């Protein structure tokens, strides 16, 4: 299977890009084809493996197009349910920057707990850690976020002409 990937992968990817116009989507579809082949553990004998792979890639892309066509965009009225009318973009940017500065383990716990709405037990299960570890990482993250956001506010106050 690895030999097939190395032998035909570049041409398959180029074909996928020709179909989708998107290198990322093409690469995803190509990887899905090989993952399915690996899951089967054996491939039924085919007359021409190259033709088989191109056909499988094409079918994978067409199936993805069908799945995407079923997605229905939400109306502006529905999306308003998810956005605050008093949204503070500066604070949001500050929070995003502060989150980005957190260590990965603390950021993951924080996002899962706050935005994912998961309990510490559920968060622990997702991350493969102990619930107490998840809670501790969350506490550390909150402390760092408070410090980072407080420092940012202090900088803003001192940067103002009247401050």
Domain finish residue from 24, 52, 70:
70
What percent of the chain is predicted at pLDDT more than 90?
25
In the block, residue with structure tokens 């402390």: 143
Q: Are residues 37 and 103 in the same domain?
A: no
Q: Are residues 154 and 110 in the same domain?
A: yes
Domain finish residue from 53, 70, 87:
70
- CATH number for the domain including 114? 1.10.10.10
Q: Are residues 51 and 104 in the same domain?
A: no
Position 135 scores a pLDDT of: 97
Q: Contacts for 47-55 with beta carbons within 8 Å, 24 or more apart?
A: 49/4, 49/8, 50/8, 53/4, 53/8, 53/12, 54/12, 54/15
What percent of the chain is predicted at pLDDT more than 70?
83
Which residue range forms the structural domain that includes residue 26? 2-70
Could you give the number of structural domains in the chain?
2
Q: How confident is the model over 77-114, as pLDDT tens digits?
A: 544 444 566 777 777 788 888 888 889 889 888 888 88
Q: Are residues 84 and 55 in the same domain?
A: no
Q: How confident is the model over 34-59, as pLDDT tens digits?
A: 999 888 876 677 788 888 888 889 99
In the block, residue with structure tokens 């690469």: 27
With cut-offs at 50, 70 and 90, classify the pLDDT of residue 162: low
- Is residue 64's pLDDT more than 80? yes
Q: What's the chain's average pLDDT?
A: 82
Domain finish residue from 70, 95, 118:
70
Q: Are residues 87 and 143 in the same domain?
A: yes
């Amino acid at each position: 299977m690895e030999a097939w990937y190395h032998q035909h992968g570049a041409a398959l990817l180029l074909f996928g890009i020709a179909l989708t116009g998107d290198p990322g989507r093409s690469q995803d579809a190509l990887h899905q084809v090989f993952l399915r082949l690996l899951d089967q553990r054996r491939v039924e004998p085919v007359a021409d493996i190259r033709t088989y792979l191109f056909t499988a890639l094409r079918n994978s892309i067409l199936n993805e197009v069908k799945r995407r066509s079923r997605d229905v965009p939400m109306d502006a009225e529905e999306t308003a349910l998810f956005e605050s009318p008093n949204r503070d973009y500066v604070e949001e940017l500050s929070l995003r920057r502060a989150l980005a500065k957190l260590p990965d383990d603390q950021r993951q716990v924080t996002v899962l707990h706050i935005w994912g709405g998961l309990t510490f037990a559920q968060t622990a299960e997702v991350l493969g850690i102990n619930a107490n570890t998840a809670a501790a990482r969350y506490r550390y993250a909150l402390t760092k976020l408070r410090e980072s956001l407080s420092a940012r506010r202090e900088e803003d106050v001192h940067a103002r002409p009247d401050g």
